[in-house]
Structures are given as C-alpha cells and as structure tokens.
A and B are shown apart, each in its own frame.
Chain A
Amino acid sequence: MPPLRHISSKQSFIEWVKIILSRHETLGVLIWKDLKVQYGNWFLGILWAIFQPLIYLGAIGLMLHLGGRKHASGEMDPIIFLFSGIIVWNFITNAVNSTIAGIQGNANIISKAFFPRFFLVLAPVFRVVLDFLISFILLISIAVIRHSEISASALWKVPTALILLLMTAIGLSSLAAVAVVVNRHLRHIIPMLMYTGLFIFPVFYMLEHIGNPILHSGYLLNPIAAGMTSVRSIFGTMDSLPISLAIPYFSAFVLLLVGIWAFRRMERTMADRI
C-alpha cells in the first residue's frame, strides 16, 4: 500500500518534520543551486568567503585607528579580537540577508512547485555556515601568523558556539522570512538593520565596557554576543561571561522556537502572498 498523505488546514509539527526529512534531497539541491549561481566556480566562492570579512576588518580597523581609539580588547591581540567579532556578525548578517534574497529569487518556484518551505531558511543558513568555516580557518591562520596564543583546551567551544549561532541564525532568518512575506517593503529595511548590528553587538568593544548594568545583563542573554565571546576565548584567558553559558543557549533556543512557530503560521499562505 503506498503511503497516505493527509491534507487539511492544519498540519501537526510531527508531520511537518516528517515532510522535511523525506524531502532532504531538495535542500541539498537548493544549496547547490545557490552556490553555483552565486559563485559560478568554487575558487571564486572561496575567494569571496575570504575577502568579505577581510574587507570589513580593514574598514573597521581603519575607522578605529583614525578615530584614535585605543583598542578595547583588553589583553587580547586587537586584530584577533576584531576579526572574531566580524566573522560571527558576518555569519548572522549573511544568513538573514541570503534568506530574504532567496525568498525573492525563488518566488516563482514557491508558487509552482511543492517543497518544504522551511528549506528557504535552511538552505541559505547552511550555505553561509560554509563561509563561516572558511573565515574561521582564516582567523586561526591570522592568529598563527601573529603568534597569538591559541588555547587548545578552548577549541571544544567551537562546535558549541556553532550550535549556538546556528540556532540564532535559523531563528532570526525565519523571522526575517515571515517579515518579508507579510510586508515586502521590509526586504530593504532588514538588511540595513543587520548592518547596524555591527555597532549593537560587541564587535569592536568588550562587554565590560558597557557601564549600564541593565544593558550589560541584556547582553548576557544575547546569543550573538555569547558566540563572539566563545570564539574569542580560544585566543586568550578572557572569560567575560560570569554567568553560565547556558543562558544564551536558552535564549537562542527560544528564538529558534519562536522563529519556527512564526514561519509555520506564515507558511500556509506563503504561495498565495508571493
């Protein structure tokens, strides 16, 4: 007996997950398509993944230098400090912006073919993980060149930081997807907001420099800030999170759940709205 599919106005979460798993191949195809279209060939792709964060590093470094600001990195090598922040921020920004671009670019497929809509979030996020890993290797290389201290015992924080950032990226990208489907004008505004994140998140300052205690504890909840701190902790003894890392994990998880919840609500009318 072939499998039976049930269609109604409601779909249980388990059914939703089942369909995603059964169509995992399409996720691969969507990632592959994006890579091919965007980079044409893998060499240019890797080059871009290397140069994008380096350009930010140059620009922000220059800005800080011209502003005459003493580096706010504590004991740490300022370039390593800055670059760690940049790659984390860049990962989140690229994930959200690629999701928005993907919804626009795939509008025709969305209304003409069925595939799990959540792939429109997962495909861009997984694709930018590749870029993140490349820039992470670049970060390690810079640290080696500059003879920075690398704490091998802290390397275990890399996969945990990655899980934290993945949950955050998927949650935020889902919310961004919902926002642009509900109101298409937001697709210009959200990328702009993401760039202001460069100042909101501790890319070039330390959490310790935030004087306001309420604001400071707000940052402790922030999984992006925690991701930056995790990456930085590989290169020094800095441990700016007095409270356990569990808190940002918890907020990232909540963000992920809220993102999925909102996406599932939007998903049922997605093809009609696009």
Chain B
Amino acid sequence: MSASATEPVDLLHPSARSLESPEAPRRRTGNTPRLVLLFVLGLAGLAVSIVVSIRIGASQIGYPEIGRALGWRLGLDVEPLPRLVDSLIWDLRVPRVLMAAVVGASLAVCGAALQAVTRNALADPYLLGVSNGASTGAVIVVVLGYGATTLGVTGGALVGALLSFGLLMVLMRRGGLDSMRIVLTGVVVGQLFAAITSLVLMASGDAEATRAITHWLLGSMAPSRWDGVVVCAIAAALGITLIWLCANALDGFSFGADTAASLGVNVRATRVTLLIVTAVLTSVAVATVGAIGFVGLIVPHGVRFLVGPLHRVLLPFTALVGAIFLVWTDALARVAFAPREVPVGVFTALVGVPLFLLVLRKRGEL
C-alpha cells in the first residue's frame, strides 16, 4: 500500500458518485487530441475538395476565376467576371458542389443512425421507404405536366416522401418500435410506393417522363440551386446535431432495447426522434437531388473502421467523409463522359462497391 493513500474509495459504490474530477488539469485522456487533429485535417480536406471540384466540369474554370467570383461577392476590389462565366460559377457550379457536400453528410449520418437503431448493418437512409414515396410524388408531378419547373418535381417529391413516412408511422403506431418491425414496415411501405410509381409511369405511357424520372431516380446533382442548398443545409445542420445529441443512446442500443433502457435510455422516444429526423433529412435530400444510393450504406462502415463505433466520434467523421465522398463522385460524374453527364448515383455505386468490399475484407467479414 502506498503511504500517500488516504481512505480507500470504492469507485464502484454509489457513494463515489459525489467525487469531483481530480483537480489536476483536466487530463484530456486517450486519443482525443489525435481525433481532433484528424477532424480538423478532414475539414481542411473538405474545403480543398470543394474548391478543387468547383473547377472540374464540362467547361474548365481556373482558380483565378473562382477567386474573382468569390472576391467580387465579398466586396473586394477585384474586376468582376463576364456575366456568363460568373453565372456558370456562382449559379451552377458552386451550389452544386455545396449541395453534394450537404447531401453526402446528411445521407451518411442518417445511414449510421439507422444502422444503430435497427441494429442492422445493411440499413441505409432509404430503408424507411421515403425514397420510393419521393419518386411517386415526383412521377405524378411530371406526368401531370407540372414537371417543367424544378420546384414542381422537388415539391412533389417532398410531399410524396413525407406521405410515405406518415404511412409508416401510422402502421407502427401500435406496439413497440423494435428493429425488425421498423425494417419490415419500411419494406412494405417502400414496395407499395414503388408499385404506384410503376403504375403511374405505365398508365401515362409518356416516354419523355420515363426518361426524366429514370435520371432523377438514380440521383443527380445537376438541378442544385442556391435555394435548395440553403434548405438542405439548414435541415442538415439541425438534423445532424439532433442525431449527434443521441450518440450515447445509439451506443446503448448495441445490446438491444432492454439493455439500452436499463442504461437510462428512453428507447421509444429516442427511436421516434431518430426516425423522424432521418426521414425528414432523407426526404429533403431525395426531393432535391434524387435517391443517391450507397453513400448512407458504405460511408458509416468505412468510418467505423477508421475511428471505431462510438457514435460521439463516429457521427462527425461520418458527416465529413460523406461530404467529401459525394463531392468527388459528383465531380467524377461531371467529367467521366463529358460533355455527357452521368447520374451521380451510378458512380457512388461504382466507387462504393470496391471500397465496401475492402472494408469488409479488412474486418474479416468476407
């Protein structure tokens, strides 16, 4: 026994709860500094990715032009760009790249949250069927002939997504929200709306509508404009923060609802909150840019492999990596077959599948 030891304290006894943290300078333990550094580096990486990818596209833009467009708007003393170039940068490229970052972050975080809530490694943001609801809404708007305006499709998709989520919640209003029920009800709702979409498309027999919808279904950043970016960014900021505040509860779900409840997690309230937040975030994203697949599935797995499964750390990194991933895949979608543009959803899958396999291999699951 060391001589300095005073009364031995049993740290596992309730009486030890009144202990204050040792007055020693708050020891930031473990690998916190390393993680903070990594996160700051990641943010820098995102910033660089955004700037670089603004340049990339069917029409090449130089950094000086980007600088001038930005500088002029900040009121700096720079010569304004010609209208057309300025519009290309400021009204098309910049919102598009920012939209990719915002949507990438939202989808990835929703995927991570749903994987924890349903304790299902294959869960992704479209598990709840909201993307099918969004497609139905979009198709109906296009077939009815209001598809010419972007807002028409977006609005229709948003209404459809929220309707399908409403139906999901109505179906689940009785009984517990256990993982299997969420998954199965999501499948039921999703299939119902998928069938309605096909029915409407077939009944209308409009080839143009079918083509437009196919493009939209795979997801494309092309229709991104500033108003959409602002809406998505606000939703993402609020939603991701709310999900992050549930991080401890998400960890608690690791061993099922009873263990979570015994750890002081209000299981039902947490599940309802997370379902609503992920559904709204996904609906807003899908309504604007279509159902971009794979981001919400693979990014959380990849990040879990890098920083571990504790959601407090996992969620911010998931948002960051999701944003960077979608910024780059969208840049790829713009130039791979330029001047023809490929839906970004094609590339998220093409790039995502090998990455997913790699992660599974490394974890020894395949």
State whether these chains interact.
no
B residues apposed to A, CB below 8 Å: none
A residues apposed to B, CB below 8 Å: none
